[in-house]
Structure 1
């Protein structure tokens, strides 16, 4: 695998990298990281090595820059920022070291290839392109939840491991990138996966963001006026809904949704290749005529879904005519006393899979505070505020003195929520009062009574059922959990706090609002 730092190998015409005192195979950096093999140099002049962490005995990628100091500030700052976000679709960053004459970042080694390499043999099928887009959007949602920007999303920084895992690497902190430009870059990823061409040329056309082009990646197909061709114009077999979504993300005149909403929508579309029934769900668009049914993207990103009302009315009319014909029967004049058929619980005769339900905000029917059995249960009031829609009012802990982990008094405490019934859940977002908290999301099926004993039973039953990755000393006020099993129904969730941020001479945290999206 090309473990490049910028996600792009250096061109042959690039200037020679100055590497005075460059390392050699077998050298051990920081008394821990043994260099095994020089892989390549990236477009920023950094050396990329495959190495081994001799303490933990795991493979690592080591990205070195000569010299260190001020010239390596951007690289090190980006690595430090990335290390704060733990997500299955983000490359893990383990270490960042500046030795003045050189600086290096140690990160996860991924066996596989970049999207740029994967698409070199031809465009990907729509199902796989959707899976990759979903993974990238989910990774960005985790980054954006910390109020940070990735700033380096392109086919070279999207890696696909040999076991199929999709990860995003090499965040940057320089430039004028925004969370919106990150989201638009997902459109570029979808476009590239579907066509093998990159739509973000230096001259922004049809909404492409300038400055995102990468050498050695073919430019998008364009007409005489420089407008990029839609994926369906480049190749056959691209579903209309995916074509429209991709082009809307690239259109600067259409406001993109937030990354978490886009991730939820792509997760809805990310279905196995043998279940591609989504053509019947209607094209997904950011803008539509007034009166069209709003989608989840409309609620959070200013988009509306063009449901195809005329088509649905036509289908309904045909169904009505067929029903009338069936009621009349071929020459049978006997009266029909029960013309309305009872709904059938059997699957369609042709074996077709019913269309997936749209992602929406799920109503929380109840919430209560779960305390560690060692606690005094003095913080049980105001749990209903975490789902009242008012972000200015929430539930909060007491102020603990001594240590962030509740003064070493107890393991933690949290907010238990009941969705009122079983649902497919796509994501949970928790808005907090302050940065620096550590927490995780758990699930279970039991609902013991609200008592010290009941709380202990509930936590014991839930603690082994982790959703996604826990947040440790989170550098943000929003935590987004996306690690739900699409084949599992959920009713009870537990947001469990393990460490509190500093506040008023002690440690304290408020949970302002919990939002659940699913179907």
Structure 2
């Protein structure tokens, strides 16, 4: 990543971890001692940009956590320093570079990573708020808030897992809730091996803690769930004489059955967990206002829907709790049918009494549709949109942005100014999904930071000519067709758009670039990969 001091860290470890350090995490007694020789002082400016304001604490790895300010952009930042730098800081810096590529509203953003040999430091987003661990000190959270927090954590993990990385440190101390209510996941680890499955099971631990105030680490704990790393203050879960974990509903009243089942299934080693994107979709379905929770109580057993070619979800096929809830759902359906029949017999309107009864041929299990599977949608067509150019010599290679290879992409020419040398209003990549789909998010990975772009949608597909591109832009470029907020002078290389209407269908999408980042020879950018998630 570029900086004004120290060598640039360009290497990114495939399958590595995101590193983001959350303030408020206490140092573990076993943490390595912090080297204080040449330690920073308040008022010092690092890399001619980051002014240190206040030493907050030392994290569990012995790094110094400071609150600072970016004197150029005038925004608060967190600065995490390690002594010394060089080879001993390579893993931290590489992980920070990887973190900067994952942009998501529920992940703490990473802005810079600098190695000065005698020390190294990572600069990231400052979060004013508190951890879930601290939030729950006054008692467990209500089910609606616990569900909302679980949804945010699962959504953050889905963004991390989509890049092939692992977080590896999901627990109440790394789930941050800002003063405005935003939930972010911070402080991923780089030590030791881990798996995406453990990340997903840890969401169950977060839900369990939010609902009960206890952390469910057992004899074979989730990674990072043991005492230490600032977690020693979290009380262990309630267990019976045989060591079996007590369900949230056994610990406190008012926990809905559907949330109790989901939490316990995620913690059950005998039940294979869903992928993080499927879990996020299910938690989003359950994330409803408290006054509407009664609609979920009668929704039958939770099912994570699978593609038609895939095996049914383990949660759909699970026995025990799922069978009991399924029987309860069938009884509820029967009771509703009985009440409808009584109402019909007592109806004084003869026409109403002659209305045909609802068909009962459909299986009872289909009464409540399963949540749609969120998956990567195939792109059937892709081309470059260049309405302001008559030469049209930058149209080749569009297919490289959807080939699944992040090392190959389509790139613009090099221009003398950020706005395409002041010759064009922009250029874009048009995607055809082949048919209308429900779209959840679109992610574009770029070759450099500093670009400005937005995502548009439209209804026309004119010919690939200069006039055709002008017709397309006239249809697409209105306020009603913009998806989410545009990225302006973006400080990362990944742009994620998730402002889609859940009730609408989309077939045509346009990733529209309005400003180019600076390069060694001018202004240019490559679009390495674009992925569309939906159902």
Cα distance change of structure 1 residues 8 and 414 upon mapping to structure 2, 3 Å threshold:
same
Q: Residues 154 and 200 of structure 2 are in contact (CA less than 8 Å); yes or no, is this contact kept in structure 1?
A: yes
Aligned-partner SS, 1:70: helix
Query: 507-516 or 123-132, which moves further after superposition?
Result: 507-516
Partner of 2:385: 371
Aligned-partner SS, 2:112: strand
Cα distance change of structure 1 residues 511 and 78 upon mapping to structure 2, 3 Å threshold:
closer
Give the alignment of 1:125-136 within 5 angstroms: 125-136=142-153
Aligned-partner SS, 1:237: coil
Partner of 1:166: 183
Q: Residues 50 and 68 of structure 2 are in contact (CA less than 8 Å); yes or no, is this contact kept in structure 1?
A: yes
Q: Residues 370 and 455 of structure 1 are in contact (CA less than 8 Å); yes or no, is this contact kept in structure 2?
A: no
Q: Deviations over 1:152-178 (max 9, x none)?
A: 222111111000111111223331112
CA distance in 2 between counterparts of 1:507 and 1:33 reads 27
Q: Deviations over 1:244-288 (max 9, x none)?
A: 1112222222222211111111111111222212112224267xx
State the 1:361 CA deviation.
5.8
CA distance in 2 between counterparts of 1:142 and 1:335 reads 55
Q: Residues 200 and 211 of structure 1 are in contact (CA less than 8 Å); yes or no, is this contact kept in structure 2?
A: no
CA distance in 2 between counterparts of 1:424 and 1:398 reads 26
Q: Deviations over 1:100-140 (max 9, x none)?
A: 22221111111111111111221111111111111111111
- Residues 1:340 and 2:351 aligned together: no
What TM-score do the two structures reach when normalised by structure 2? 0.73
Q: Residues 66 and 78 of structure 2 are in contact (CA less than 8 Å); yes or no, is this contact kept in structure 1?
A: yes
Partner of 1:62: 79
Selected match of 1:281 from 292, 299, 310: 299
- Residues 1:303 and 2:340 aligned together: no
Selected match of 1:233 from 236, 245, 250: 250
Selected match of 2:269 from 244, 249, 252: 252
Partner of 2:209: 192
Q: Quote the RMSD (CA, aligned, Å).
A: 4.7
State the 1:200 CA deviation.
2.7
Q: Residues 133 and 186 of structure 1 are in contact (CA less than 8 Å); yes or no, is this contact kept in structure 2?
A: yes
Selected match of 2:428 from 413, 416, 422: 413
Aligned-partner SS, 1:281: coil
Q: Residues 447 and 458 of structure 1 are in contact (CA less than 8 Å); yes or no, is this contact kept in structure 2?
A: yes
Q: Residues 344 and 353 of structure 2 are in contact (CA less than 8 Å); yes or no, is this contact kept in structure 1?
A: no
Partner of 1:270: 287
Cα distance change of structure 1 residues 132 and 296 upon mapping to structure 2, 3 Å threshold:
farther
Structure 2: gaps of 5 or more residues: 1-19, 317-321, 360-366, 517-523
CA distance in 2 between counterparts of 1:493 and 1:439 reads 21
Q: Residues 198 and 218 of structure 1 are in contact (CA less than 8 Å); yes or no, is this contact kept in structure 2?
A: yes
Cα distance change of structure 1 residues 238 and 319 upon mapping to structure 2, 3 Å threshold:
closer
Residues matched between the structures, number: 475
State the 1:62 CA deviation.
1.1
Give the alignment of 1:291-330 within 5 angstroms: 294=305, 302-305=313-316, 306=322, 308-329=325-346
State the 1:425 CA deviation.
4.8
Q: Deviations over 1:35-68 (max 9, x none)?
A: 1111111221111111111111111111112222
What TM-score do the two structures reach when normalised by structure 1? 0.75
- Residues 1:141 and 2:154 aligned together: no
Cα distance change of structure 1 residues 301 and 260 upon mapping to structure 2, 3 Å threshold:
farther
Partner of 1:350: none
CA distance in 1 between counterparts of 2:507 and 2:107 reads 28
Partner of 2:6: none
Q: Residues 441 and 493 of structure 1 are in contact (CA less than 8 Å); yes or no, is this contact kept in structure 2?
A: no
Give the alignment of 1:167-182 within 5 angstroms: 167-182=184-199
State the 1:413 CA deviation.
3.1
Aligned-partner SS, 1:107: strand
Aligned-partner SS, 2:84: coil
CA distance in 2 between counterparts of 1:420 and 1:274 reads 37
CA distance in 1 between counterparts of 2:213 and 2:55 reads 28
Q: Deviations over 1:203-245 (max 9, x none)?
A: 21xxx42443232222222222322222222222111111111
Q: Residues 369 and 416 of structure 1 are in contact (CA less than 8 Å); yes or no, is this contact kept in structure 2?
A: yes
Partner of 1:348: none
Cα distance change of structure 1 residues 197 and 19 upon mapping to structure 2, 3 Å threshold:
same
Selected match of 2:534 from 504, 507, 516: 516
Cα distance change of structure 1 residues 325 and 168 upon mapping to structure 2, 3 Å threshold:
closer
Q: Residues 151 and 287 of structure 2 are in contact (CA less than 8 Å); yes or no, is this contact kept in structure 1?
A: yes
Cα distance change of structure 1 residues 113 and 98 upon mapping to structure 2, 3 Å threshold:
same
